[in-house]
Amino acid sequence: MESWANLDFHLDLSGPGGLRQRLTAALREAVRSARLPAGTRLPASRSLAADLGIARNTVADAYAELVAEGWLTARQGSGTVVAQRVAPPQPVTRAATGPAVRFDLQVSTPDVTEFPRAEWIRSTRRAVTAAPSEAFGPGDPQGRIELRTALAEYLARARGVRADPERIVVCSGFGGAVQMFNRLLRPPVVVEEYGLGFHRSFWKATVPLAVDDHGAHTEQLPDDLRACVLTPAHQFPLGGPLHPRRRAAAVEWARRVGGLVLEDDYDGEFRYDRQPVGAVQGLDPEHVVYLGTSSKALSPALRIAWMVLPDRFVDPILELKTDREQHVSMLDQLTLADFLESGAYDSHVRRMRLKYQRRRDQLVEAVSPYVSVSGIAAGMHAVLETPHEEEVVRTARERGIEVNPLSWFRHEKSDDDRSGIVVSFGAPAFPRALQGFVEALAACH
């Protein structure tokens, strides 16, 4: 039997009527709404009266009235208990408005069922034990030095980033970083003509830049604009890495116009067919902002991202971050620092790289009789080239499978008309949904 005797519990005694009437109504509402579940033992009338600062007789009379009404039961030696016959309110359910989605293969998150819980807990334990007391204070808006130091070493080693802890700023997700730059950069901003719509929504105005199998056409960057956003390691969603000549062209453009390249390295660690493509930032740290996140490698729930900034942007970003941007959990920062330094991060990435590669191969083999597949040298999604984009999406949805049409990622000002389906083989549902999706695809071809 649960006891309320030693728990804090809110009773609202405001409203019309006398004190006993208001106490009775408050207790009745708490039982009716299941805030006091059936079987809960209430405190003695003397104790509750002392807690509320009212007369004991007022509480005793309220208990007696609720016993008489059947809300409570009272037996000598057992105290006053919420009656078992009182049914809690039933949850409200919304009526379905279309086919139920059983399997989500949209481009969104990694396979979060593979989150390395045991290793993360070990890192948390070590980090909390070693942390100085000041780490549990308000925190540094730039981010914990332990994490910035660990990131500088990892990014230099794994991604070819020229990083210094004093140039790294930790922020709460990619969106938080972009929103700060939205206040520093003069619009419009150049973005790739294919990309996530919510990325474009951060900017006051955007201009599309054409893309193909070799990434964005950076040789076409206009000299009258000063900022562009690129996904060089793995163009999203088409999948091609930015060609070396185009990488050089992006940096040359930024130098020539005094501009800035924002490099979104969202899944650069997951490359399968050759060595990972290094970051463009390594070519010119003063004209490229490197943006990374833990969302793809670990989990979007951590809400940890980082920026490696040109020196001239560090102070302006920190001024904005202090005022507007929510600080990342210090405990999560310390844990991620230990996770990186212990080698657990590398081990997890290697393990997931092999798992995603096996899934990619499964997908390619299963759909190859019907469509061509592209964008699969890296990442966690593939583009299936088909003229039946809308039909495939609709047929899959009828089978409870949600996928993205390629057109969903197209800039509203782009005149490109390619057609296809973007499928996440990193999604937790992929192994169970593959057969059903292939059947939907076959029905449309």
Mean per-residue pLDDT, 384-401? 96
Position 99 scores a pLDDT of 66
Structural domain contains residue 11:
no
Question: 251 with 324, same domain?
Answer: yes
Structural domain contains residue 275:
yes
Structural domain contains residue 316:
yes
Structural domain contains residue 25:
yes
Q: What is the dihedral of CA 295, 296, 297, 303, to 10 degrees?
A: 0
Q: Which domain holds residue 68?
A: 19-82
Structural domain contains residue 93:
no
CATH number of the domain where residue 57 is located: 1.10.10.10
**pLDDT tens, residue by residue, 86-123:** 455 555 555 555 667 789 999 877 999 999 999 999 99
Structural domain contains residue 13:
no
**pLDDT tens, residue by residue, 47-74:** 888 888 899 999 999 999 998 888 999 8
Lowest mean pLDDT among 223-227, 251-255, 373-377: 373-377
Question: 357 with 386, same domain?
Answer: yes
Nearest to 124 by CA among 338, 313, 284: 338
Question: 28 with 124, same domain?
Answer: no
Question: 365 with 337, same domain?
Answer: no
Question: 283 with 298, same domain?
Answer: yes
Question: 279 with 372, same domain?
Answer: no
Question: 361 with 436, same domain?
Answer: yes
Position 3 scores a pLDDT of 63
Neighbours of 4 (CB within 10 A): 18
Question: 374 with 333, same domain?
Answer: no
Residue ending a domain, among 325, 345, 365, is: 345
Q: What is the DSSP letter of 234?
A: S
Question: CA–CA distance from 208 to each of 337, 404, 426 (Å)?
Answer: 37, 20, 28
pLDDT classification of 256: cutoffs 50, 70, 90: very high
Question: 382 with 403, same domain?
Answer: yes
CATH number of the domain where residue 400 is located: 3.90.1150.10
Nearest to 231 by CA among 262, 259, 258, 205: 262
Question: 301 with 369, same domain?
Answer: no
421, pLDDT greater than 70: yes
Question: 75 with 179, same domain?
Answer: no
Question: 406 with 268, same domain?
Answer: no
Percent above pLDDT 70 for the chain: 93
203, pLDDT greater than 70: yes
Structural domain contains residue 88:
no
**pLDDT tens, residue by residue, 270-324:** 988 766 678 999 999 999 999 999 999 999 999 899 999 999 999 999 988 865 5
Average pLDDT of the chain? Answer: 90
Question: CA–CA distance from 406 to each of 1, 192, 352 (Å)?
Answer: 57, 14, 25
Structural domain contains residue 229:
yes
**pTM, entire model:** 0.81
pLDDT classification of 175: cutoffs 50, 70, 90: confident
CATH number of the domain where residue 296 is located: 3.40.640.10
Residue ending a domain, among 277, 311, 345, is: 345
Domain tally, the chain: 3
2, pLDDT greater than 70: no
Residue ending a domain, among 345, 365, 384, is: 345
SS3 breakdown of the chain: % helix, strand, coil, rounded to 5? 45, 15, 40
* DSSP states along 34-60: TSS-TTPBPPPHHHHHHHHTS-HHHHH
